[in-house]
Structure 1
Amino acid sequence: MKINGNEIRPGNVLEHKGGLWVAVKTNHVKPGKGPAYAQVELKHVTEGTKLNERFRASETVERVRLEQNDYQFLYSEGEMLVFMDLESYEQLEISRDFVGDRAAFLQDGMQVMVESYEGKPLGVSLPDHVTLEVSEADAVVKGQTAASSYKPAVMENGVRVMVPPFIAVGEKIVVDTNELTYVKRAD
Protein backbone atom coordinates (compact mmCIF):
# COMPACT_ATOMS: atom_id res chain seq x y z
CA MET A 1 0.00 0.00 0.00
CA LYS A 2 1.40 3.39 -0.99
CA ILE A 3 1.72 6.12 1.64
CA ASN A 4 3.03 9.68 1.44
CA GLY A 5 6.47 10.48 2.81
CA ASN A 6 5.03 12.54 5.69
CA GLU A 7 2.85 9.59 6.85
CA ILE A 8 5.79 7.35 7.80
CA ARG A 9 5.70 6.40 11.48
CA PRO A 10 8.20 4.47 13.65
CA GLY A 11 7.58 0.74 13.29
CA ASN A 12 6.36 0.96 9.68
CA VAL A 13 7.98 -1.56 7.34
CA LEU A 14 8.80 -0.01 3.96
CA GLU A 15 9.99 -1.38 0.64
CA HIS A 16 12.81 0.98 -0.31
CA LYS A 17 15.82 0.64 -2.61
CA GLY A 18 15.01 -3.02 -3.32
CA GLY A 19 14.88 -4.13 0.33
CA LEU A 20 12.69 -4.16 3.43
CA TRP A 21 13.37 -1.41 5.98
CA VAL A 22 11.83 -0.62 9.36
CA ALA A 23 11.34 3.04 10.29
CA VAL A 24 13.16 3.50 13.61
CA LYS A 25 12.82 7.27 14.09
CA THR A 26 10.98 9.98 12.20
CA ASN A 27 11.49 13.72 12.45
CA HIS A 28 9.36 16.21 10.53
CA VAL A 29 11.39 19.22 9.42
CA LYS A 30 10.10 22.55 8.06
CA PRO A 31 13.13 24.55 6.97
CA GLY A 32 12.81 28.30 6.53
CA LYS A 33 13.50 27.92 2.85
CA GLY A 34 12.20 25.05 0.71
CA PRO A 35 9.50 22.42 1.21
CA ALA A 36 8.94 20.40 4.39
CA TYR A 37 10.23 16.86 4.62
CA ALA A 38 10.39 13.89 6.97
CA GLN A 39 13.85 12.82 8.12
CA VAL A 40 13.53 9.04 8.65
CA GLU A 41 16.06 6.66 10.19
CA LEU A 42 15.62 3.25 8.54
CA LYS A 43 17.02 -0.12 9.60
CA HIS A 44 17.31 -3.00 7.13
CA VAL A 45 15.16 -5.89 8.32
CA THR A 46 17.57 -8.75 7.64
CA GLU A 47 21.02 -7.13 7.45
CA GLY A 48 20.62 -4.64 10.32
CA THR A 49 22.29 -1.77 8.44
CA LYS A 50 20.98 1.74 9.06
CA LEU A 51 20.14 4.48 6.59
CA ASN A 52 18.93 8.07 6.96
CA GLU A 53 16.56 9.26 4.23
CA ARG A 54 14.55 12.38 3.53
CA PHE A 55 11.01 11.93 2.23
CA ARG A 56 8.99 14.88 0.95
CA ALA A 57 5.22 14.92 1.43
CA SER A 58 4.75 14.57 -2.34
CA GLU A 59 6.86 11.37 -2.52
CA THR A 60 5.15 8.01 -2.08
CA VAL A 61 6.68 4.88 -0.56
CA GLU A 62 5.43 1.31 -0.45
CA ARG A 63 4.34 0.26 3.05
CA VAL A 64 4.54 -3.50 3.58
CA ARG A 65 1.98 -5.37 5.65
CA LEU A 66 3.52 -8.18 7.66
CA GLU A 67 1.68 -11.40 8.43
CA GLN A 68 1.31 -11.89 12.18
CA ASN A 69 0.73 -15.42 13.43
CA ASP A 70 0.48 -16.85 16.93
CA TYR A 71 3.07 -19.50 17.69
CA GLN A 72 3.86 -21.53 20.78
CA PHE A 73 7.45 -22.09 21.90
CA LEU A 74 8.10 -25.83 22.18
CA TYR A 75 11.79 -26.37 22.91
CA SER A 76 15.34 -25.42 21.96
CA GLU A 77 17.58 -27.81 20.10
CA GLY A 78 21.20 -26.65 20.03
CA GLU A 79 21.21 -23.21 18.39
CA MET A 80 17.68 -23.62 16.97
CA LEU A 81 14.41 -22.66 18.68
CA VAL A 82 11.33 -24.68 17.69
CA PHE A 83 7.90 -23.00 17.53
CA MET A 84 4.49 -24.42 16.57
CA ASP A 85 1.81 -22.55 14.62
CA LEU A 86 -1.33 -22.56 16.79
CA GLU A 87 -3.65 -22.80 13.77
CA SER A 88 -1.94 -25.26 11.40
CA TYR A 89 0.25 -27.04 14.01
CA GLU A 90 3.23 -26.74 11.64
CA GLN A 91 6.61 -26.42 13.30
CA LEU A 92 9.01 -23.56 12.59
CA GLU A 93 12.72 -23.55 13.44
CA ILE A 94 14.37 -20.18 14.07
CA SER A 95 18.01 -19.53 14.96
CA ARG A 96 18.67 -18.42 18.56
CA ASP A 97 20.72 -15.48 17.16
CA PHE A 98 17.61 -14.28 15.28
CA VAL A 99 15.70 -13.81 18.56
CA GLY A 100 18.78 -12.38 20.30
CA ASP A 101 19.27 -11.92 24.04
CA ARG A 102 15.54 -12.16 24.67
CA ALA A 103 15.67 -15.90 23.80
CA ALA A 104 16.61 -16.49 27.46
CA PHE A 105 13.05 -15.50 28.43
CA LEU A 106 11.39 -18.20 26.31
CA GLN A 107 9.57 -20.76 28.47
CA ASP A 108 7.97 -24.05 27.44
CA GLY A 109 4.47 -23.42 26.10
CA MET A 110 4.94 -19.62 25.90
CA GLN A 111 2.79 -17.96 23.24
CA VAL A 112 4.69 -15.58 20.93
CA MET A 113 3.86 -13.54 17.82
CA VAL A 114 5.94 -14.26 14.72
CA GLU A 115 5.92 -11.58 12.02
CA SER A 116 6.70 -12.80 8.53
CA TYR A 117 6.78 -11.48 4.98
CA GLU A 118 6.07 -13.88 2.11
CA GLY A 119 6.55 -16.84 4.45
CA LYS A 120 9.95 -15.68 5.74
CA PRO A 121 10.05 -14.86 9.49
CA LEU A 122 11.28 -11.33 10.24
CA GLY A 123 10.69 -10.97 13.96
CA VAL A 124 9.52 -12.69 17.13
CA SER A 125 7.53 -10.72 19.73
CA LEU A 126 7.63 -12.10 23.26
CA PRO A 127 5.13 -11.19 25.99
CA ASP A 128 6.04 -7.89 27.66
CA HIS A 129 6.27 -9.45 31.14
CA VAL A 130 7.56 -12.85 32.30
CA THR A 131 7.49 -14.39 35.80
CA LEU A 132 10.86 -15.80 36.89
CA GLU A 133 12.41 -17.15 40.09
CA VAL A 134 15.43 -15.45 41.67
CA SER A 135 18.32 -17.94 41.86
CA GLU A 136 21.01 -15.58 43.24
CA ALA A 137 20.72 -12.28 45.10
CA ASP A 138 23.12 -10.24 47.20
CA ALA A 139 22.37 -9.89 50.91
CA VAL A 140 20.80 -6.65 52.14
CA VAL A 141 23.30 -4.18 53.61
CA LYS A 142 21.81 -2.66 56.75
CA GLY A 143 21.23 1.09 56.56
CA GLN A 144 21.23 1.13 52.78
CA THR A 145 17.47 1.65 52.55
CA ALA A 146 17.44 5.41 53.10
CA ALA A 147 17.63 6.07 49.37
CA SER A 148 15.98 3.87 46.79
CA SER A 149 18.71 1.34 46.14
CA TYR A 150 18.73 -1.74 43.97
CA LYS A 151 20.91 -4.83 44.11
CA PRO A 152 21.89 -7.26 41.34
CA ALA A 153 20.07 -10.59 41.14
CA VAL A 154 20.37 -13.53 38.75
CA MET A 155 17.17 -15.12 37.48
CA GLU A 156 16.63 -18.86 36.89
CA ASN A 157 17.38 -18.29 33.16
CA GLY A 158 20.78 -16.69 33.90
CA VAL A 159 19.76 -13.08 33.17
CA ARG A 160 20.98 -10.39 35.61
CA VAL A 161 18.36 -7.87 36.76
CA MET A 162 18.52 -5.08 39.34
CA VAL A 163 15.92 -5.71 42.08
CA PRO A 164 14.82 -3.90 45.27
CA PRO A 165 16.64 -4.90 48.48
CA PHE A 166 13.66 -6.84 49.91
CA ILE A 167 13.78 -9.49 47.12
CA ALA A 168 15.38 -12.75 48.32
CA VAL A 169 16.53 -15.99 46.66
CA GLY A 170 13.62 -18.26 45.74
CA GLU A 171 11.08 -15.45 45.27
CA LYS A 172 9.21 -15.11 41.99
CA ILE A 173 9.27 -11.70 40.32
CA VAL A 174 7.84 -10.20 37.13
CA VAL A 175 10.48 -8.99 34.65
CA ASP A 176 9.98 -6.68 31.64
CA THR A 177 11.39 -8.56 28.61
CA ASN A 178 11.93 -5.39 26.57
CA GLU A 179 13.85 -3.34 29.14
CA LEU A 180 15.26 -6.28 31.18
CA THR A 181 14.04 -4.62 34.36
CA TYR A 182 12.23 -5.62 37.56
CA VAL A 183 8.49 -4.81 37.51
CA LYS A 184 7.00 -6.28 40.71
CA ARG A 185 6.75 -9.34 42.93
CA ALA A 186 4.74 -12.16 41.39
CA ASP A 187 1.37 -12.86 43.01
Structure 2
Amino acid sequence: MIKTSVVTTLLTSLFFLTACSGESLSKDEPTPSTNTPTRNISPNTTKSQDTGAKPSSNTSFKAELAIDLESAKNLLKENERSALDVLEKNLTALVEHDHKLYRFGFVDDRLADAMDFYYGEQFQYMFSNIESIEKKEANYNQLHITVLGERLDTTTDTIEKVKMMYAIRQNEQGDWDIYTID
Protein backbone atom coordinates (compact mmCIF):
# COMPACT_ATOMS: atom_id res chain seq x y z
CA MET A 1 0.00 0.00 0.00
CA ILE A 2 2.83 2.41 0.84
CA LYS A 3 4.61 1.56 -2.44
CA THR A 4 1.48 2.41 -4.39
CA SER A 5 1.14 5.75 -2.61
CA VAL A 6 4.80 6.62 -3.19
CA VAL A 7 4.65 5.69 -6.88
CA THR A 8 1.40 7.65 -7.35
CA THR A 9 2.89 10.69 -5.60
CA LEU A 10 6.06 10.54 -7.72
CA LEU A 11 4.12 10.20 -10.98
CA THR A 12 1.79 13.02 -10.00
CA SER A 13 4.77 15.23 -9.12
CA LEU A 14 6.47 14.42 -12.42
CA PHE A 15 3.26 15.23 -14.29
CA PHE A 16 2.89 18.60 -12.56
CA LEU A 17 6.55 19.49 -13.05
CA THR A 18 6.27 18.73 -16.76
CA ALA A 19 3.02 20.67 -17.09
CA CYS A 20 4.33 23.66 -15.13
CA SER A 21 7.56 23.87 -17.09
CA GLY A 22 5.68 24.98 -20.18
CA GLU A 23 7.61 22.52 -22.29
CA SER A 24 6.54 19.22 -23.68
CA LEU A 25 8.59 16.14 -24.08
CA SER A 26 9.76 16.12 -27.67
CA LYS A 27 10.93 13.35 -29.91
CA ASP A 28 14.42 13.71 -31.25
CA GLU A 29 13.55 12.31 -34.64
CA PRO A 30 10.23 11.98 -36.45
CA THR A 31 9.12 8.48 -37.25
CA PRO A 32 10.12 7.96 -40.87
CA SER A 33 7.97 6.01 -43.28
CA THR A 34 9.56 3.08 -45.04
CA ASN A 35 10.26 4.92 -48.27
CA THR A 36 11.07 8.37 -46.93
CA PRO A 37 14.69 9.39 -46.84
CA THR A 38 14.95 12.64 -44.90
CA ARG A 39 17.72 15.09 -45.64
CA ASN A 40 18.29 17.67 -42.94
CA ILE A 41 19.77 20.79 -44.40
CA SER A 42 20.82 22.31 -41.09
CA PRO A 43 21.27 19.91 -38.21
CA ASN A 44 21.65 22.78 -35.73
CA THR A 45 18.13 24.03 -36.36
CA THR A 46 15.96 24.05 -33.27
CA LYS A 47 13.18 21.49 -33.62
CA SER A 48 10.82 23.23 -31.21
CA GLN A 49 8.77 25.84 -33.01
CA ASP A 50 7.16 28.52 -30.89
CA THR A 51 4.53 29.84 -33.26
CA GLY A 52 3.01 32.18 -30.69
CA ALA A 53 2.99 35.77 -31.85
CA LYS A 54 5.27 38.11 -29.93
CA PRO A 55 5.23 41.88 -29.99
CA SER A 56 7.84 43.23 -32.32
CA SER A 57 10.50 44.98 -30.32
CA ASN A 58 12.71 45.20 -33.37
CA THR A 59 11.53 47.78 -35.86
CA SER A 60 14.22 46.65 -38.28
CA PHE A 61 12.51 43.42 -39.35
CA LYS A 62 13.80 42.71 -42.83
CA ALA A 63 11.66 40.75 -45.26
CA GLU A 64 14.01 38.53 -47.22
CA LEU A 65 14.76 35.11 -48.61
CA ALA A 66 17.99 34.16 -46.84
CA ILE A 67 18.06 30.45 -47.68
CA ASP A 68 21.07 28.89 -49.39
CA LEU A 69 19.18 27.04 -52.11
CA GLU A 70 22.37 26.05 -53.91
CA SER A 71 23.47 23.83 -51.03
CA ALA A 72 19.99 22.29 -50.95
CA LYS A 73 20.24 21.47 -54.66
CA ASN A 74 23.33 19.39 -53.93
CA LEU A 75 21.16 17.06 -51.83
CA LEU A 76 18.77 16.33 -54.68
CA LYS A 77 19.00 14.27 -57.83
CA GLU A 78 19.42 16.22 -61.05
CA ASN A 79 15.77 15.67 -62.09
CA GLU A 80 14.51 16.90 -58.66
CA ARG A 81 16.41 20.18 -58.52
CA SER A 82 13.84 22.20 -60.43
CA ALA A 83 11.43 21.61 -57.51
CA LEU A 84 13.58 24.10 -55.60
CA ASP A 85 12.99 26.66 -58.36
CA VAL A 86 9.23 26.38 -57.76
CA LEU A 87 9.82 26.75 -54.01
CA GLU A 88 12.10 29.76 -54.53
CA LYS A 89 9.52 31.55 -56.70
CA ASN A 90 6.79 31.00 -54.13
CA LEU A 91 8.93 32.18 -51.22
CA THR A 92 10.15 35.18 -53.23
CA ALA A 93 6.53 36.05 -54.05
CA LEU A 94 5.68 36.05 -50.33
CA VAL A 95 8.68 38.23 -49.50
CA GLU A 96 8.08 40.69 -52.36
CA HIS A 97 4.25 40.75 -52.16
CA ASP A 98 3.84 39.50 -55.72
CA HIS A 99 0.39 37.88 -55.71
CA LYS A 100 0.51 36.76 -59.34
CA LEU A 101 3.88 35.02 -58.84
CA TYR A 102 2.63 33.46 -55.59
CA ARG A 103 -0.31 31.82 -57.36
CA PHE A 104 1.80 30.69 -60.32
CA GLY A 105 3.42 27.58 -58.79
CA PHE A 106 0.29 25.81 -57.56
CA VAL A 107 -1.10 22.80 -59.38
CA ASP A 108 -4.39 24.65 -60.07
CA ASP A 109 -6.30 27.84 -59.25
CA ARG A 110 -8.55 26.10 -56.71
CA LEU A 111 -5.54 25.16 -54.60
CA ALA A 112 -4.04 28.63 -55.02
CA ASP A 113 -7.30 30.07 -53.67
CA ALA A 114 -7.20 27.69 -50.71
CA MET A 115 -3.58 28.65 -49.90
CA ASP A 116 -4.19 32.39 -50.21
CA PHE A 117 -4.26 32.86 -46.42
CA TYR A 118 -0.44 32.67 -46.36
CA TYR A 119 -0.33 35.67 -48.66
CA GLY A 120 -1.33 39.07 -47.36
CA GLU A 121 -0.16 42.63 -47.76
CA GLN A 122 0.00 42.89 -43.96
CA PHE A 123 2.55 40.06 -43.77
CA GLN A 124 6.29 40.39 -44.17
CA TYR A 125 8.26 37.16 -44.37
CA MET A 126 11.87 36.38 -43.63
CA PHE A 127 12.81 32.82 -44.64
CA SER A 128 16.05 31.66 -43.07
CA ASN A 129 16.47 27.93 -43.47
CA ILE A 130 15.35 24.67 -44.99
CA GLU A 131 14.81 22.28 -42.09
CA SER A 132 14.41 19.12 -44.16
CA ILE A 133 13.72 17.63 -47.56
CA GLU A 134 11.86 14.33 -47.66
CA LYS A 135 11.18 12.26 -50.74
CA LYS A 136 7.75 10.62 -50.85
CA GLU A 137 8.04 8.11 -53.70
CA ALA A 138 4.64 6.61 -52.91
CA ASN A 139 3.09 10.01 -53.71
CA TYR A 140 3.96 10.34 -57.38
CA ASN A 141 7.56 11.53 -56.98
CA GLN A 142 6.72 14.15 -54.37
CA LEU A 143 9.10 16.16 -52.19
CA HIS A 144 8.21 17.58 -48.79
CA ILE A 145 10.37 20.63 -48.16
CA THR A 146 10.09 22.26 -44.73
CA VAL A 147 11.06 25.93 -44.59
CA LEU A 148 11.71 27.95 -41.41
CA GLY A 149 11.49 31.67 -40.85
CA GLU A 150 9.54 34.51 -39.28
CA ARG A 151 6.48 36.52 -40.25
CA LEU A 152 5.73 40.07 -39.18
CA ASP A 153 2.08 41.06 -39.07
CA THR A 154 2.17 44.80 -39.64
CA THR A 155 -1.41 45.31 -38.45
CA THR A 156 -0.58 44.02 -34.95
CA ASP A 157 3.19 44.64 -35.03
CA THR A 158 3.85 41.05 -33.95
CA ILE A 159 6.44 38.59 -35.16
CA GLU A 160 5.84 34.88 -35.15
CA LYS A 161 8.02 31.95 -36.13
CA VAL A 162 6.81 30.06 -39.16
CA LYS A 163 7.41 26.51 -40.26
CA MET A 164 5.94 25.76 -43.67
CA MET A 165 5.99 22.34 -45.30
CA TYR A 166 5.69 22.46 -49.07
CA ALA A 167 4.50 19.33 -50.88
CA ILE A 168 5.87 19.69 -54.41
CA ARG A 169 5.08 16.98 -56.96
CA GLN A 170 6.28 16.27 -60.47
CA ASN A 171 3.48 16.05 -63.03
CA GLU A 172 3.31 13.81 -66.12
CA GLN A 173 5.04 16.46 -68.23
CA GLY A 174 7.98 16.53 -65.81
CA ASP A 175 7.13 19.95 -64.33
CA TRP A 176 7.01 20.49 -60.58
CA ASP A 177 3.90 21.98 -58.91
CA ILE A 178 2.97 22.87 -55.37
CA TYR A 179 0.26 20.52 -54.10
CA THR A 180 -0.08 22.02 -50.64
CA ILE A 181 1.55 24.19 -48.00
CA ASP A 182 1.09 23.08 -44.45
TM-score class, shorter-chain normalisation, is under 0.3
- TM-score normalised by L of structure 2: 0.25
Point out the structure with the larger helix share: 2
Give the structure with higher Rg (CA).
1
More strand by share: 1
**Higher relative contact order structure (alpha carbons within 8 Å, sequence separation ≥ 6):** 2
In the superposition, the TM-score normalised over structure 1's length comes to: 0.24
